[in-house]
Amino acid sequence: MRIPAQSKEAKEALHLVETLQAYFVEKLNTLSDSFGKAGHFEAVEWERDEGLHGGGVRYESTDESLFNSASVNVSQVHYDEDKSKKLSSATAISTIIHPQNPHAPSMHMHISWTQMREGKGYWRIMGDLNPSLQNDDLQNQFDTALQNASGDFYEEAKAQGERYFNIPVLNRTRGVSHFYLENFNRDDFYEDSTYAQKMGSTIIDSYISIVSSMLEKENTYTEEEKMTQIDYHTLYLFQVLTLDRGTTSGLLVHDQNDVGIMGSIPSHINKPLLYSWLDLMPHPQERLLLRILDALPEGKIVNVTPTVKKRLANAVRTHYKEFPEALKLQASGENVPPTVENHR
């Protein structure tokens, strides 16, 4: 049984992210009813230390006709009984959607409340659009929705998102539209939580609108377009496993939710393309990429199954235990704490 965090703020944050999770899952199930095979998302629970320190529930897609890979995760991990920990609790929704149709873009959203032992806390609000096929209209639609909802914080969040999702060795960002507010705290928990709720709802509504319109207009695609998507998914895996600070910190803290933390990984990637980036990696990150390649199956277009995800998680953990100094080579936006857990 999962034991929830006891602080008032953590309870409110859990209600907020669970509400966003239920809202998004309902919208995604409706997409499946309209454009797929009515395969609704199914819940998978996990516990941290048999529930003593919390855990979470992720909803995973069962409609492979519509979704390549999709999960909507909510977690809350806490240390209420362990006064030696500086971190009191971390409560988050983290969701990554990869549609099958390459005309429909991928999307990532993460909203979390992190509370320290002395009671202080902050929100992290992220939302980014990740298309495999360039479409300026979709980017503008997503950017406009974010800008209208975020107000005065838009430029700051856009700049921080572009820094965080930058891939230096490939001279590009992971996606085309990035929003990232880190350490967000205006000394009014309820005002800030309302803002986080608004941003989450806006990201969800904008994304559902984009995907619905694309599936209505572009319900077929070519083999070439599908291959372009697979190549992009390879880049997505590359960024998540070699640069994403949140993914790495979650994997280093524990191994009790590896498949959930690796929910951002698409189902298939181009292994030779991934290998072609090996010579671009700074030391010792070329060793990390070699470990990732070794964890993947043999072949050109390889399937990233849950078993493979566990191998990839172990590859990342092994690398940073051997080369802890390499953590400084990971992505960083402004004021991103390098040691705070990112529970998914």
Q: Is residue 332 scored above 80 in pLDDT?
A: no
What CATH number is associated with residue 143?
3.40.1500.10
117 occurs within a structural domain: yes
Q: State the total domains in the chain.
A: 1
21 occurs within a structural domain: yes
3-state secondary structure of 71: strand
Q: What does pTM read for this prediction?
A: 0.94
Query: In the structure, what pLDDT confidence band is assigned to residue 333 with cuts at 50, 70 and 90?
Result: low
Which tens digits make up the pLDDT trace of 172-201? 999 999 999 999 999 999 999 999 999 999
Which tens digits make up the pLDDT trace of 4-17? 999 999 999 999 99
Beta bridge partners of 128: 108, 178
Instruction: Choose among 74, 90, 78: nearest CA to 25.
Output: 74
DSSP one-letter code for 79: -
243 occurs within a structural domain: no
3-state secondary structure of 210: helix
249 occurs within a structural domain: no
Q: Is residue 341 scored above 70 in pLDDT?
A: no
165 occurs within a structural domain: yes
Decide which of 184 and 341 is more confident: 184
Neighbours of 308 (CB within 10 A): 16
Distance CA 4, CA 35 (A): 37
Residue range(s) defining the domain that contains residue 144: 8-222
Instruction: Look up residue 129 and give its two tokens.
Output: 């659009």
CA separation, residue 326 to residues 167, 172, 287 (Å):
16, 21, 11
Which tens digits make up the pLDDT trace of 228-286? 999 999 999 999 999 999 999 889 988 999 999 998 999 999 999 999 999 999 999 99
Distance CA 339, CA 237 (A): 22
